[in-house]
Structure 1
């Protein structure tokens, strides 16, 4: 079945919804499922015992829970997918996370169902960065074997950046002709400039006159928050009326708290903790600039385009998707490197000459032209068309 004849019947597998488990992967999964479901029949298979709020047109299937081991969850997903494929016709399996995608992909291949996988990044490499020791080495070795098995089952891949295309090709030996680059997007209805920034700041109990710099990240090493704090202590000396807000939770929080005390930044840095879905757009609207200090493996950077959709200028390290987004928009907003010195120099340069920053309208217009979920869904459907039509032709 092609889009022109009424839409695809899609089985999408992923981790969860961001309301249940925060993170960029889940934000992407939720957003693309919602957009695809406007024109297609979509069932979302997630590994969570709780059912998230979702449009009625999406059928959510809850499989397993976070309390189970990864291997148990993987097996449950495979068994559920086998039963699901036996009960109803499916045109394409759309997979978003290797551990939960490998089982359904095996069952899909048995039944001749095409498999399209979105590669959100090298899961194993992310694990390596955040741990050490023999036990961790064994865990990452097993993870790599799962990835290799999963990626060997896909007919086509979608990646969000040239950086992840190259990683998928070079590290996982996926042929380039199987890989399609489709950048991510922002929910432009949810993320938009404020009608009254003063009112938003009052609501969030933020000072009206301060210059506010925002970042929202998982508090882990590769996100560059230690380097950001090292840079900020120099920025704060030059601009004592500026405030840095850091949203997010993770194992690095105690170290960040210690750094803030060590640098004497208690009045100029605030750790927000987890920022809810409801509050996130408000913090964008209340801020003057957004910072993405990632050190490694920034596949696309949904947060970058979400900030820009809110009319918020973004400065970022030249890593992955952030580099690709900003180099096509305003390359002067990229730091010269990833270390604290490069971040410090970049922020001091821009904050010392605010006319270098793009305006709200310019930031939002770039997103509306290039990074909407409608645009992403159309390109994803084109990939579905290719695999479904190839299957139909083979059947003839």
Structure 2
């Protein structure tokens, strides 16, 4: 811990235990770890009344996540005024533009830091459609981002996107990577024991991918890639964890490619079991095709001691290339993914071992390491305001 203690107000999206997602995981991680860096935290999200107890009394729910949009926006404004009345914060950190927008004017004389987790408008309409709704979301994002003193992004790729798409000045942008609780992912079980506990086969090469089942994640390419891998490694097994609107389409694709024995959709995996799934695998794969600012799944895999193969999209190469360039595929698409998987499993592509993966994750992406960097940006924003 360094510097004068400061009080922060954190505006999030959901509480992770109620609506798991990358943004929500990062938000919770900062709520848990910033106090050790001299940054006290108060927060607000859309969620149930149980958020208060689950967060140790640090985060309040301003409205239910399923309530009408108007009720959520009004709730955000009302709650922000109540928090201001209780104590004016030293800095306001927003993680989700939609819920930060209603607080406009409430903290007029307080420096603001935007945590840019991704382009909300583009992620909501990945196919390029959306019409007025997309334009409205983009305008709302620009409105929120324009009022910030500093902006925290997860990668240089997202720094460029924030500058070019939203007009944020480069000198206000700071790159701070995503973080994980490395100790939680440091599963003591051997790969054999992890497979035993999960009921997975011991005698097959095992791949793991944990993604939301939506188009930009590249899961179609990954399934098609397995049709390339199967002839060389007939016993290979890919397990895809996650839920989403593409589940039926992906299952149909698996059947159409004759991969029922080689690719399994395992659905939702409880958070406490995620480290075991990574540990059980020989290799994890992140086949994203667009809008990947960082990819927390890459670091989760490394923290569990399992190498991860990624497509050269967004911030993915930045996350893993310093450990080994061999973890980054030369291109996206099913052919490159399939060939890369085969090379790793056949020993033709050298990837870091268990110890190297864990050491790298611990040094660069542990929660305390990243929280210290975030705290430094908050103090910089206060000094510059």
Coarse TM-score class (shorter-chain normalised): over 0.9
- For the structure 1 residues 170 and 377, does the alpha-carbon distance in structure 2 shift closer, same or farther, using more than 3 Å as the test? same
CA deviation profile, 1:9-39 (whole Å, cap 9, x unmatched): 1110101122111111111111111110333
TM-score, normalisation: structure 1: 0.93
Q: Which of 297, 315, 320 is equivalent to 1:303?
A: 297
Q: 1:365, 1:383 → 2: CA distance? A: 25
Query: What does 1:141-180 correspond to in 2, within 5 Å?
Result: 141-180=135-174
Query: What does 1:320-339 correspond to in 2, within 5 Å?
Result: 320-339=314-333
Q: Which of 97, 107, 113 is equivalent to 2:110?
A: 113
Matched length: 383
How far does residue 70 in structure 1 lie from its aligned partner after superposition? 3.0
Residue 128 of structure 1 is matched in structure 2 by 125
Q: 1:106, 1:159 → 2: CA distance? A: 24
Deviates more, 1:42-51 or 1:299-308: 42-51
Does structure 1 retain, via aligned residues, the 8 Å contact 2:153–2:159? yes
Does structure 2 retain, via aligned residues, the 8 Å contact 1:20–1:50? no
Query: What does 1:202-281 correspond to in 2, within 5 Å?
Result: 202-281=196-275
Does structure 1 retain, via aligned residues, the 8 Å contact 2:153–2:174? yes
Residue 195 of structure 1 is matched in structure 2 by 189
Does structure 1 retain, via aligned residues, the 8 Å contact 2:286–2:311? yes
Query: What does 1:27-66 correspond to in 2, within 5 Å?
Result: 27-38=25-36, 39-52=38-51, 54=54, 56=56, 59-66=58-65
How far does residue 69 in structure 1 lie from its aligned partner after superposition? 2.9
Query: What does 1:376-387 correspond to in 2, within 5 Å?
Result: 376-387=370-381
Residue 12 of structure 1 is matched in structure 2 by 10
Does structure 2 retain, via aligned residues, the 8 Å contact 1:44–1:61? yes
CA deviation profile, 1:88-137 (whole Å, cap 9, x unmatched): 1311111101101122243112xx111111001111111221574xxx32
Q: State whether structure 2 residue 313 is matched by structure 1 residue 315.
A: no
Q: 2:17, 2:48 → 1: CA distance? A: 13
RMSD over aligned Cα, in angstroms? 1.7
Q: 1:46, 1:161 → 2: CA distance? A: 25
How far does residue 264 in structure 1 lie from its aligned partner after superposition? 1.2
Residue 394 of structure 1 is matched in structure 2 by none
Q: 1:273, 1:339 → 2: CA distance? A: 24
How far does residue 190 in structure 1 lie from its aligned partner after superposition? 0.8
Q: 1:139, 1:114 → 2: CA distance? A: 29
User: What secondary structure does 1:107 align onto?
Assistant: coil
Residue 79 of structure 2 is matched in structure 1 by 80
- For the structure 1 residues 3 and 86, does the alpha-carbon distance in structure 2 shift closer, same or farther, using more than 3 Å as the test? farther
Residue 374 of structure 1 is matched in structure 2 by 368
Q: State whether structure 2 residue 91 is matched by structure 1 residue 92.
A: yes
Segments of structure 1 that go 5 or more residues without pairing to the other structure are 392-396
Does structure 2 retain, via aligned residues, the 8 Å contact 1:218–1:248? yes
Q: 1:147, 1:274 → 2: CA distance? A: 31
Segments of structure 2 that go 5 or more residues without pairing to the other structure are none
